[in-house]
Structure 1
Amino acid sequence: MGELTWGTFFLGFLNFKTEKYVIAENRKLGISFRVFQICVLLYVIGWVLVYKKGYQSREETVQSSVITKLKGVVMTNNTESGLYLWGAEDYAIPPTGEQVFFIVTNYLETPNQRLGFCAESPKVPDGKCENNEDCAEGEVVIAGNGVKTGLCLNSTGTCEIHGWCPVETGRKPSEALLSKAENFTIYIKNFVRFPKFKFSKSNVLDTGNDSYLKRCSYDNVLQPYCPIFRLGDLVSRTGHDFQDMAVVGGSVGILIEWNCDLDKDYSQCNPEYSFTRLDINLNSTVTSGYNFRYARYYKDEAGESFRTLYKVYGILPSSFIGGFGFIYIILITGKFACDMIFIYMLSTSSYFRDRKFEILKKERIKKHKESAKTVVNRDTRKHRTHAGEQHELTTLSTKNEEKLEPTTQDAEKQDLKTGEKKEVHILSPRTVGQRYNTHPPRPRH
């Protein structure tokens, strides 16, 4: 018995089970069903598939890293420092190359600053004074260059400070000293990975030519996959002129987008570059530009420290990585596939199809209604017959009670005639029914 039970279980486990559908010939219900079906279909096709691309498995979490390298030299000549050759280690900050870096295109130099006492710059509002009381000793000049000594210098109208002297003049540059920086090249190496699909790639073109990177330059038409950009071309793609931006600096955004169809060949997944200027304010030109200060420190023969202060202007390229990877997916379940084989592809599919879909004809529905009506009428007649029999039994019981139940006065008259005393028993309707109703009532149906 145990073997039969386990054998039946395993054989039943291998059976294919499918639902049976009943098709009702009801026009109103059918129209409502089709209208609802069309609405669902439009939603699935229009919104889910076309607009939201639900037929794709997407990965929008892009893991990336950016490495930059700058090349190029430029010669400058000014009154403060004379001839000076700028290399990548001088104008690239930081020189190691990161996702955000700074390229010097102009500068103001204040050479040979030493710690001492001098007048604050007239361009610093908190350094201006009319008397010594305006220069409290030990007070730091707000947005200035040192600490007040308590003296107001009439020659400049500013407080005397203790700091690096002489202070910066604060003049604004009129032309770019590193105007030829437009020929600098930027090598942007970008690595991306889509962790969901375990897909990785770099923006460097896979080629066996070792000299390719030494001679190529990015062009969105001729060389779209070269990762080396000429600085002047990069700025011009933002819609601005390099020489104008080089005077006071600016910020440029470099967007690298990886929108890859991973069903295609590995070589078809390539980046798309776009460029924009980030520091432009259409309502004000005050906020445009980019600059900061840094100093180079030295010691003289006596061991005393001095420095050269630089206020540098330049271009700040910032790299942004975006995009997504996707793979097309077919949403077909095993149940659906087996059903298709079951009712369309087997040699006995016509037999299975007839059993799977049962059509309810109108004639069959009418016959069902008539048979149901006949059953209702038969039950009604039975109920009426049973109710009539119950009424007859109730009437008979009532008549017997009226005939057999004597009163107290009749019993006393009978005693006077016979001279005998008899006990009188008053019969209740229930007793009469039990004694004279010899036919019990029929059971209810």
Structure 2
Amino acid sequence: MSTCIPLPVSNVFNSKTIKSAVYDFVTDYETPKIVTIRSAKFTLLLRISQVIILLYGVLYLLLYQKGYQKQDSSIVSSVTLKVKGIGYVESLKNQTTIIDGTDYVIPPLENAAVFIMSCYIRTEQKRMTCEESKYIDNAHCTRNEQCVANNYQFLHTNGRWTGRCLIRLNQTVGLCEIEGWCPVEDDLAQRELIEGVLNFTIFLKNFVEFPGFKVIRKNFHDNMSPCLYHDIHDKSCPIFRLSTIIESAETDQAERELMLKFGGVIKIKLNWDCNFDFNVKKCVPVYSFGRLDAKFKAENFSKGFNFRYVDLII
């Protein structure tokens, strides 16, 4: 039978043992055992692996992927657009109507966008009573009972039905009478194309800020000379001819003609990909163009893009 007798604490933590532990900590250290393998096959495999890892880290991660750089994608940007140009419309009466910027630039439906009128249907209207549109089947009538007053069960009425059936002379079928803006609009009427619309120019002003680098850039210069954007000769000019934009966004000539007639939606993309390792003046945008609406040959419902605009004439 044996018993354990604890040693006094003073025997463990005395000045001699503490001094010896500190001396050993300062003067002695251990190293792992090194084994030398004499094999050309394994040595070559090791060196190739080391070189591959080194090249991957330096060439790909560090240089190609710019791993040493700080990236900032939370940029702040603002865009304004200014359109200039003179167009004209020749009427059937051999009269010429000049269209300027206040006529063909319609207030856009969204920010950082502009609506340019390339074709329009003009209807001079007054508040009065007149015939309903002939394209509404339910508006055809032979007696007043078919034109019930305040009849709003039809979705495409152009005004309030008065309850009267208007039948012209020498005809047996007439149209219901409405009260509203007369005469009613006819979307199938002859469109008036604006000549010279492809020569309109758009001045795109873009201010962009990189908060992470405290850098503010813009896509034009204060002393910039007159220019026009060209995808080869002048890629930095922020003034675009409408013909250049349409031809870049749509390569099909037939589709471009339909776009001018029925409308379309085009995007102008500014890609700011800047490397601040170099001079900040080299931080310039790259422009590209694309069509957002569907092609006419692939779309059967609500082709193009258009909206109504009221111009009050006194």
State the secondary structure of the residue aligned to 1:270: coil
Aligned pair partner of 1:124 in 136, 143, 158: 136
1:74 deviation in Å? 1.7
**Which residue of structure 1 lines up, in the alignment, with residue 298 of structure 2?**
283
State the secondary structure of the residue aligned to 1:290: coil
Q: 1:237 to 1:143 in 2, by over 3 A?
A: same
CA-to-partner distance for each residue in 1:348-395, whole Å, 9 max, x for gaps? xxxxxxxxxxxxxxxxxxxxxxxxxxxxxxxxxxxxxxxxxxxxxxxx
TM-score for the superposition, normalised by structure 2: 0.72
Q: 1:64 to 1:294 in 2, by over 3 A?
A: same
**1:35-184 correspondence runs (5 A):** 53-79=66-92, 82-94=95-107, 99-111=112-124, 113-125=125-137, 127-129=139-141, 132-140=144-152, 141-155=154-168, 157-173=174-190, 177-184=193-200
Aligned pair partner of 2:311 in 296, 320, 328: 296
**Which residue of structure 1 lines up, in the alignment, with residue 35 of structure 2?**
25
- The reply on whether 1:225 has 2:236 as its aligned counterpart is yes
Unaligned runs of at least 5 residues, structure 2: 1-28
1:261 deviation in Å? 0.6
Q: 1:160 to 1:58 in 2, by over 3 A?
A: same
CA contact (8 A) 2:148 2:163 kept: yes
Q: 1:179 to 1:115 in 2, by over 3 A?
A: same
Higher helix share: 1
Q: Residues of 1 paired with 2:157 and 2:55: CA distance?
A: 68
Higher strand share: 1
Q: Residues of 2 paired with 1:25 and 1:129: CA distance?
A: 106
Code of the residue aligned with 1:91 in structure 2: it is Y
Aligned pair partner of 2:287 in 258, 273, 282: 273
TM-score for the superposition, normalised by structure 1: 0.53
Q: 1:23 to 1:129 in 2, by over 3 A?
A: farther
Aligned length: 268
CA-to-partner distance for each residue in 1:271-300, whole Å, 9 max, x for gaps? 10111111124632544311111222234x
Q: 1:248 to 1:74 in 2, by over 3 A?
A: same
Q: Residues of 1 paired with 2:132 and 2:54: CA distance?
A: 77
State the secondary structure of the residue aligned to 2:243: helix
Unaligned runs of at least 5 residues, structure 1: 1-18, 300-445
**Which residue of structure 2 lines up, in the alignment, with residue 365 of structure 1?**
none
The higher relative CO (CA closer than 8 Å, separation ≥ 6) is in: 1
Code of the residue aligned with 2:241 in structure 1: it is R
**Which residue of structure 2 lines up, in the alignment, with residue 237 of structure 1?**
248
More deviation, 251-260/285-294 = 285-294
Larger Rg: 1
Q: Residues of 1 paired with 2:63 and 2:202: CA distance?
A: 40
CA contact (8 A) 1:118 1:161 kept: yes
CA-to-partner distance for each residue in 1:185-223, whole Å, 9 max, x for gaps? 11001111111111110000354x6xx1xx311112211
Q: 1:159 to 1:23 in 2, by over 3 A?
A: farther
Code of the residue aligned with 1:284 in structure 2: it is E
CA contact (8 A) 1:126 1:144 kept: no
1:66 deviation in Å? 0.7
Q: 1:130 to 1:56 in 2, by over 3 A?
A: farther
